[in-house]
Amino acid sequence: RKEVEQDPGPFNVPEGATVAFNCTYSNSASQSFFWYRQDCRKEPKLLMSVYSSGNEDGRFTAQLNRASQYISLLIRDSKLSDSATYLCVVKPANAGKSTFGDGTTLTVKP
């Protein structure tokens, strides 16, 4: 089993739709959680960190469920510019090494 698993998609949604991605992790000692965004043929960039209480940044909401060991990303009112691959990243306390999921591809269509 992979340490971090994501549904690869692709998710094809119309503009304005709400879409949610989940990511499960296997290491219960995981401490820090992130969502990165990667555009086609570009480098990954941090989208947002995921906090225990959940957090929101504009149209983006991230949630953490430690009991079930998953994190989620909700995108409301999807824009064409949201089309990208979204990578889930998990980092254990102290050990340092971040583990990336394989990513979920989102395509927002007019």
Binding site for other proteins (CB under 8 A): 31-32, 34, 41-46, 49, 87, 89, 91, 93-98, 100-103
Task: State both tokens at 35.
Answer: 């969502």
Q: Shortest distance, CB of residue 28 to other proteins, whole angstroms?
A: 16
Closer of 34 and 61 to other proteins (Cβ): 34
Closer of 18 and 31 to other proteins (Cβ): 31
Asked if 106 and 83 touch (Cβ cutoff 8 Å), the reply is yes
Q: Shortest distance, CB of residue 22 to other proteins, whole angstroms?
A: 16
Q: Shortest distance, CB of residue 2 to other proteins, whole angstroms?
A: 9
Torsion of CA 25, 27, 32, 33, to 10 degrees: -10
* Alpha-carbon separation of residue 94 from 33, 71, 87 (angstroms): 14, 20, 22
Q: Shortest distance, CB of residue 31 to other proteins, whole angstroms?
A: 6
Closer of 76 and 98 to other proteins (Cβ): 98
Query: Cis (ω within 30 of 0) for the bond into 10?
Result: yes
Question: Which alpha helices (DSSP H) does the chain contain, by range?
Answer: none
Closer of 42 and 109 to other proteins (Cβ): 42
